[in-house]
Amino acid sequence: MNKDNKYDIVVIGGGHAGIEAAAIAAKMKCKTALLTMDFKTIGVPSCNPSIGGTAKGHLVKEIDALGGAMGFLADQAGIHFKMLNISKGPAIWSPRCQIDKDLYPQVALKYLQSLKYLDLVEGLVKEVKLIKKKIYSIICNNGTELTAKSLIICSGTFLNGKMFTGRDVSVGGRFGEQSSENLSDLLENYGIKRGRLKTGTPPRISAESIDYGRLDIQAGDMNPAPFSYLSNKVENKVLCFQTETNEDVHTELRKGFGDSPMFNGIIKGIGPRYCPSIEDKINRFADRDGHKIILEPEGLNTNSVYVNGFSTSLPKEVQINALRKIRGLKKCEILRYGYAIEYDFFYPYQLKYTLESKILPNLYFAGQINGTSGYEEAACQGLIAGINAAAKIKKLDDLVLKRSDAYIGVLIDDLVNKSTEEPYRIFTSSAEYRLLLRQDNAKYRLCDYAMKYKLIPKERYNQLKSEQNIIEESLFETKNIKIKADDINSYFIQIGETTLIDSTDINTLSKRPGVSLEHLINMTNAKPKSLSSIIKNKELLNILNIEIKYEGYINRQKKEIERFLHNEEKRIPVNFEYNSLSSLSNEAREKLMKIKPESLGQASRISGVTSSDISVIALFLR
């Protein structure tokens, strides 16, 4: 550890955001300290034992493309890998893996310890002071004192955390752990506005008490693929199982509604609409007689099983009675009851796109403190905050990803401009240009940014560029290779496709549903350079296939992006007097003055600002 405790960057909190922020800042050669209550809880998955999923898998791939840790850590701790939505379009294919929840913190700790510029420090923040508007001084309960040029706060659900099970209320940031009270008040004293949110977690049950014979198996993929380019191979080591709730279960649950902190007004924070508790689900979808439940093992050396889809804060006896009415869980034993947690967050409109506070200089916020939900959402913010904090110290440009660059860009743009009323979760539908923002091309989309900040090795960058080249050239080559009708018709008859009359290029042919590009390339005798190399690489071939099949739509989205960027470049002066425009609605005026959008495009995405408000501003700017 640094002798004088003077750092470039101090990261408060060792969750998924904190890990990324600290690691990337250290990689960018800033003297960094990660301050956590307990080394052993670094990277603990508080809720589900999995990383990735619909749209979240995209985030993990993007984090990996920018030199982040999450994908690499998940690969090492992963025990069940699955590409979701494979039956749907390629834009929403999303990788997910189950992780060993005990192993994940271990690999995370080992990874952080291996970083030369990073110190890990234990302590609970008692006081934060900004000295001469330049240096942050952080004083901990245990007497530890640190100073930093930049401070990144990644405190998760620990700010004034309160946990609820039925009428039982306890203080803490996670089961069995204390919460952090001082920090939230300190920040508020600096004029930063806070609110309250709620999230929940389901019960864990013991593996021995489950009747597996009565459940449906959910296996991992045959050929599991890792998240990270740094990982060679991953393996499936466990199975997941599926069951569902029924009317009897719902009846049991309803018995506890009177004692539910969600319904009796004890919990005031607003919960996530999209990851609702089971009591919320049966309340809101009253006509449904069952909800899907997935049983996910929490690790290789534990008998704890996570009951996915059964998040609840109902009283303990209601939880157990209801669970035991579910198929396969008749004799189940609860190891830990589900609970809801309520915590402070800070309104993210107070942030710049770099995640730096608009109110205090060199203070960054990342993760659940910004009102998001999910490990992946937290991690990508940690990464961006870390890169920007380091870039500022190294006098490099800000890193601001646009909505057309990455899901990360979509997420941060939404956070800053859309008022969070509930925990924010990423969706594929949040991304306007999702045919371009796929999980398979994240590494290509972001490699120029990664190289700019030296987040990936030069060789990796060169390799990505050459792969991109092969794909582009192959795309071109497919338009020039024609296949004669006689040569292809027998294949078409075999797969039930309309036969050809004239010879046709393989680009056109492979756009037909059910026609295999690989087959067409293999039929070609004299293969041009790029096609002959791409045919040997399954991954690149798959990308080429997508690029051809959806070429028309991909090109349309590229056109739309041009339009989008045009509006992003229409600058609004910082001192624009919204007050003098009487026709703006009060809500729009208030939001615009609060957020101070940099461009017309940004203004148009602020919730409460209508298109007629934008027209007024646009006319005025001309």
Partner 1 sequence: MIINDTITALATVPGISGIAVIRMSGDDAVKIVSNCFRGSAPLMEAERNTIHFGKIYSKNYLMDSVLVSVFRNPHSYTGEDTIEISCHGGNTTYSLIIDELISQGARQAEPGEFTKRAFINGKLDLLQAEAVSDMIHSVSVSGSIISARQLHSGISTKIKKFRQILLDACSLVELDSDFSDEDIEIINRKDLKEKAEEVLNFCTSLIESFNSAKIFRSGFYVAIAGFPNSGKSTLFNSLLGRNRAIVSQTPGTTRDYLEESILVSGVAVKLFDTAGLRETEDAIEIEGINFSHSVLSQANIIFVLNDISISEEHSDSLYKKIQEDYLAQKVYLIQNKVDRLPSLPEINKNAYISAKYGEGLPDLFNIIRTEIEKNKANINDILINERHLILLKGAAEAIRRAISELDYLSPNEIIAIELHDAARYFGEMTGQAWNEEVLNNIFSKFCIGK
Contact residues for partner 1 (CB under 8 A)? 53-55, 84-85, 88-92, 244, 274, 281, 285, 288, 290-292, 309, 427-429, 434-435, 513, 550, 553, 556-557, 567, 576-577, 580-583, 604, 610-612, 614-616, 618-620
Three-class SS state of 249: helix
Three-class SS state of 479: coil
Q: Which two tokens stand for residue 120?
A: 């890990």
The residue (of 129 and 563) whose beta carbon lies closer to partner 1 is 563
Beta partners for residue 94, in sequence order: 84
The amino acid occupying position 473 is E
444, HSE (Cβ side, Cα atoms, 13 Å) = 17
Residue 145 CB, shortest distance to partner 1, in Å, is 46
What's the full length of the chain, in residues?
A: 622
Tokens 């809801």 -> residue = 340
Residue 322 CB, shortest distance to partner 1, in Å, is 16
Query: Which residue from 271, 260, 243 is spatially nearest to 373, judged by alpha carbons?
Result: 271
Question: What distance separates the 2 farthest-apart alpha carbons in the chain?
Answer: 83
Residue 89 CB, shortest distance to partner 1, in Å, is 3
**What are phi and psi for residue 591, nearest 5 degrees?**
-65, -40
CA distance 292 to 91: 24
Residue 471 CB, shortest distance to partner 1, in Å, is 20
The residue (of 354 and 439) whose beta carbon lies closer to partner 1 is 439
Residue 472 CB, shortest distance to partner 1, in Å, is 22
Tokens 């947690």 -> residue = 341
**What are phi and psi for residue 180, nearest 5 degrees?**
-115, 115
**DSSP designation for 396:** P
The residue (of 214 and 292) whose beta carbon lies closer to partner 1 is 292
List helix spans (H) across 496-610. 506-510, 517-523, 529-534, 538-549, 551-568, 586-595, 600-604
The residue (of 380 and 617) whose beta carbon lies closer to partner 1 is 617
Residue 463 CB, shortest distance to partner 1, in Å, is 29
CA distance 217 to 250: 24
CA distance 20 to 297: 26
The residue (of 427 and 491) whose beta carbon lies closer to partner 1 is 427
CA 35 remoteness from chain centre: 23
Query: Which residue from 157, 158, 153 is spatially nearest to 181, judged by alpha carbons?
Result: 158
The residue (of 529 and 563) whose beta carbon lies closer to partner 1 is 563
Residue 350 CB, shortest distance to partner 1, in Å, is 26
The residue (of 476 and 620) whose beta carbon lies closer to partner 1 is 620
The amino acid occupying position 470 is I
Residue 566 CB, shortest distance to partner 1, in Å, is 8
The residue (of 168 and 551) whose beta carbon lies closer to partner 1 is 551
CA distance 109 to 39: 8
Contact 43, 406 (CB under 8 A): no
The number of beta carbons lying within 10 Å of the beta carbon of residue 4 is 8
The residue (of 4 and 562) whose beta carbon lies closer to partner 1 is 562
The residue (of 141 and 583) whose beta carbon lies closer to partner 1 is 583
Residue 95 CB, shortest distance to partner 1, in Å, is 13
The residue (of 195 and 290) whose beta carbon lies closer to partner 1 is 290
The residue (of 287 and 502) whose beta carbon lies closer to partner 1 is 287
Query: Which residue from 349, 346, 348 is spatially nearest to 593, judged by alpha carbons?
Result: 349
Residue 613 CB, shortest distance to partner 1, in Å, is 9
CA distance 305 to 299: 8
Residue 440 CB, shortest distance to partner 1, in Å, is 14
Query: Which residue from 129, 131, 71 is spatially nearest to 95, judged by alpha carbons?
Result: 71
Residue 588 CB, shortest distance to partner 1, in Å, is 12
Residue 313 CB, shortest distance to partner 1, in Å, is 19
Residue 618 CB, shortest distance to partner 1, in Å, is 6
The residue (of 394 and 556) whose beta carbon lies closer to partner 1 is 556
Cα–Cα distances (Å) from 166 to 161, 305, 307, 312, 316, in that order, read 16, 22, 18, 9, 7
Rg (CA), the chain: 26
The residue (of 8 and 414) whose beta carbon lies closer to partner 1 is 414
CA distance 317 to 253: 10
CA distance 467 to 543: 11
Residue 334 CB, shortest distance to partner 1, in Å, is 22
77 burial level (CB within 10 Å; 0-12, 13-18, 19+)? buried
CA distance 256 to 294: 23
DSSP string covering 519-545:
HHHHH-SS--HHHHHHTT-HHHHHHHH
Residue 93 CB, shortest distance to partner 1, in Å, is 10
Query: Which residue from 107, 24, 68 is spatially nearest to 443, judged by alpha carbons?
Result: 68
The residue (of 291 and 352) whose beta carbon lies closer to partner 1 is 291
The residue (of 249 and 451) whose beta carbon lies closer to partner 1 is 249
